[in-house]
Each structure stands twice: as C-alpha cells, then as structure tokens.
Amino acid sequence: MRRCAQGLALVLILVFTCAYILDDMALLLAGGTLLCALSGQYLLFDHRFRKVVTSIQVQRTPERSQVRKGTTLRVSTTVSVTVPHPMSVKITEQLPPQVVIQDGNTEADAGPDPAPQTCQFRYRITPVVHGNVQFPGISLSVRNAFFENSIDLFSEAFSGPGLVIQPVGFFEPSSRRSSAESREVEKLKVVSGFGIRALREYYAGDDFRRIDWKLSAKHNKLFVREYSGMVTMPPLLIIDLPWRGAPYPEHDLNRMVSAVTGMAEHSIRSFQYVSILIISGPNILHFTPQEKDLQQGIAVLREWMHPVERTVHQYRIPDRADIRGAVRHLEMVIIEGKNSRVNAFSDSLRKKYISMLAHMQVPAFAGQVARTLASIEIDEIYLFTLGCGDSSHIRQVIRQAKIAQMVIHTRIPDARVHIINPDSIYKGADTLETFT
C-alpha cells in the first residue's frame, strides 16, 4: 500500500469511528463507499499484477557455460512483459551470490503499454567462488497510484541456465611432478623467431647479390641466402586497473585512460595492430592479441577501463629471485665477518630464507603472464598502473618480461612518482615514465 492509499485508509478509519460514535448514516455512507473504492482498487490492482506476472518471459544467455573462477563473462538477459495502463513496472535481474557484477545494467523500468515490451539487461559478472551456479531469476515490482507489490520470480521458467565455475589455484603447479610410474613435464609454447635465415641451392633467376660465396666455394656449388622478411612488432599494452573496493585517484585513472587510448591508437596507426592485456592486481581480466581494428580496440578499452572487482589479492609476496638475492647478500655479510653478532643474525636469517626457498611456489598469476607473453610476438611492453595498493603483481609482470627478454616501460601518474619508491618496486623495469 502506497502513501496515498495509507492516507485514505486512515480517513476511512476516522469516518467509521465517527459514524459509530455519532450513529450517523451519512458518515456510514461516506465510509462505506470509501471502503468500496479502496477494496475495488486493490482487487483491480491485484488482477493486473497477476496479468503482468503471467505475461513475463525471460531468456538469459551467458557468454559461456563453463568458466574459471575470476574470469569475467558477459551475460545478456531479455525480459518480455506486458504492462496494463495505469501500472508501472520495475524489473531487477537477480544474481547468484557466488558472482560479483563488474558493470552493465541489471534494472529496467517499463511504463504502461498494451503491447508486450522487451527489456534488455547486458552486464558482466566475475565468479568468485567455484562450483555450480544457477541464475536465480528476476524480481518484479509493480505499482500504481495506490498500491505496489513485488515478487521474486525464481521458478523454473525465470531461472537458469546453470554455470559451471572451475577452481583456480593460487600457485602454479610444480614443473615436474612424478609418481611411481609416470612423470609430468609441462612446457611453454615455443615462439618461433622472426630472423630465420635459410640457405638453398642457386636456381636460374636468383639475385647474384644473395649468393653466399664462401659456402659456394666450400661445396663447389652455388648457394644463395634466403632472408626472412621484416616484421614490425608493436608493443604490448598492459593495463593494471584499480580495485573497486579501495579508494583510488579518479583523476589519475581518467588520465591513464587517455594515455592508454593514445598509445593504442598510435600503435595501430604505426604497426597495424596492438595487443592489450588488462589486469587488476594478480587477476588477468582480458587479453586482446593483435587487434587490427582501431574501433574494436577503443571499444575494448571503453568496456574495461574502470575499477573492477578482484577475486585474488596479493600482499607483499616476494619473488624467488628476491629471496635468492637476499641470501647472496647475507652470505657476503657473513664472509666479510666484521661483527660476530651480525654474523649470527645473518646466518640465522639466511637459513630461514633457504628453508623458504625450498617450499616457495610460483604464483598462478606469474605463470599466466608468462604464457600470455609467450603466445605473441613482441619485444616491448608498456605497463600502465596507478601505483596504488600492493605492487607484488607489478614485480611479477616485470620479472616475466625480463625472463622473456622484453623491454618493459612502466608508466605511472606523475602525482604518484613522489609517493612510490621506484627502486624497490619498479627496479627491474627498463624505464619508469609518467603520464600527465
């Protein structure tokens, strides 16, 4: 019952009370007819409410039926509804508790129209818990001038389909797993080089300048060199998006969007394509390899460039190489042996580090980055980050880029340069640049 109907109900009670006390038939008539009007409006509203509910048809289409935990997927829901004249309807898509919504619309309003209306919900969700997930259905709220009613439509006609969410480990599996009779060997994808040179016998018509005279003299037969073609290798743009759950500099994010867009546009114009890897902390959100269409590239950036929900968080996770470096430093201190107390402490710490090294596992994020870098032909990376929050993942990206022998440039907002310590976090990067 809405405010107007509540007020009328109060008037009705007042009129009936006065009629009872004063024993006045005019008051009884006024109250009785008001009761008729309110009851009639309620019955009419209920009748139309049922008509609205029975007219609803829902069709829901997730992008995939099986995803890994933390993967963002697009869902499209079409709701068809017929709304009678004085009613208005609000439809809300209900999401399972195991997912978080990244963006998009899950609410729609529909006004009165005798013809069936279609409402479209397009949104993206990220599962945060593994297991089987079922889309529960929709919520419907119907109102007119006097009454409102809502109902959760979770029956079979409005729910589904199911979504299978595969678990994701926090660490990479060990490279060698062996049991009594079998052994598992995992290899990264081999990327063929682009500077391959072939030698073959001379055929009539070949360019004399390509004859390898030394080899020809050795074998007493003419050999020519086959040069590989020149290829352009555009940079990979890695964009580290801020977490939605923590404060972030909004102004810097806007500038990062401009900087990334400009770089993507420049890359497509200069190199014909661009590769974009979107991460948020230790979560890989989206990867667009070798996008040639500028509009598509801009659309991807427009779709993703906003704070997102993170399913995995890291806090000051050291790298194996860092630990090994610390061990080497402690060994040097022990060898120098200036102070016995310092030596004892360094030795104890070294042992702790060594025992840590024995049990340290590679984070899954580092493995994902390594596989991503191995799948494309690049030699230069631009990493855009706001530099807020934990930076363990930045370190892992830089480390994997250096392992793959790529040049990596990190770009942060100029306002953050004075806050972060570039020596500790970004020391592996080739350059630390700012965007304004």
Partner 1 sequence: MKPVIWDYGFLAALAVGIAGITLMSASPVWYLTIIFFCLIAGVWYGTRTWPDRAFYLVCAGEPLILACGSINLWTGLFVIWMVAGLVCNALRILVLHEEIRFFILFCGATVPVAVLARVSNHVVLPLLLLCTVTGIIIAIQAIRNYKFRKQYSGVRP
Q: Which two tokens stand for residue 296?
A: 């598509």
Tokens of 4: 């107007």
As given in the structure block, the two tokens for residue 334 are 């022990």
Region binding partner 1 by CB under 8 A among candidate stretches 144-152, 205-213, 354-362, 381-389? 144-152
53 binds partner 1 (CB under 8 A): yes
Q: Interacting stretch for partner 1, rule CB under 8 A, among 2-10, 63-71, 120-128, 423-431?
A: 2-10
Q: Which stretch binds partner 1 (CB under 8 A): 11-19, 227-235, 305-313, 366-374?
A: 11-19
Question: For tokens 């001379």, what's the residue?
Answer: 202
CB of 40 to partner 1, least distance (A): 5
Q: How far is the CB of 71 from partner 1 (least distance, A)?
A: 21
Q: Give the residue, chosen from 1, 13, 44, 341, that forms a contact with partner 1 under the rule CB under 8 A.
A: 44
User: Which lies closer to partner 1 via its Cβ, residue 4 or residue 357?
Assistant: 4
Of the candidate spans 24-32, 252-260, 304-312, 410-418, the one that interacts with partner 1 by CB under 8 A turns out to be: 24-32
Listed ranges 75-83, 123-131, 152-160, 244-252: which one lies at the site for partner 1 (CB under 8 A): 152-160
Provide CB contacts within 8 A for 431, sequence distance 6+. Answer: 409, 410
Site string for partner 1, 375-394 (x = CB under 8 A): --------------------
Cis amide linkage into residue 86, ω under 30° from 0: no
Residue of 61, 66, 134, 361 interacting with partner 1 (CB under 8 A): 134
Q: Is 86 a residue that touches partner 1 (CB under 8 A)? A: yes
Please state whether beta strands 274-279 and 236-240 pair in parallel, antiparallel, or not at all (unpaired).
parallel
**What end-to-end distance do the CA atoms of the chain give, in Å?**
55
Query: Which stretches does DSSP call E strand in 313-387?
Result: 380-385
Residue from 107, 109, 113, 152 that binds partner 1 (CB under 8 A)? 152
Enter the tokens of residue 94. Answer: 């209900």
Q: Report the distance separating Cα 194 and Cα 206, nearest Å.
A: 23
Please tell me what DSSP assigns to residue 243.
Answer: B
The answer to whether residues 363 and 314 touch, using CB atoms and an 8 Å cutoff, is: yes
| Sequence-separated (6 or more) residues with CB below 8 Å from residue 336 | none
- Interface residues with partner 1 (CB under 8 A) are 3-4, 7-8, 11, 15-16, 19-20, 23-37, 39-40, 42-44, 46, 50, 53, 85-86, 96, 114, 134, 136-137, 144-146, 151-156, 158-159
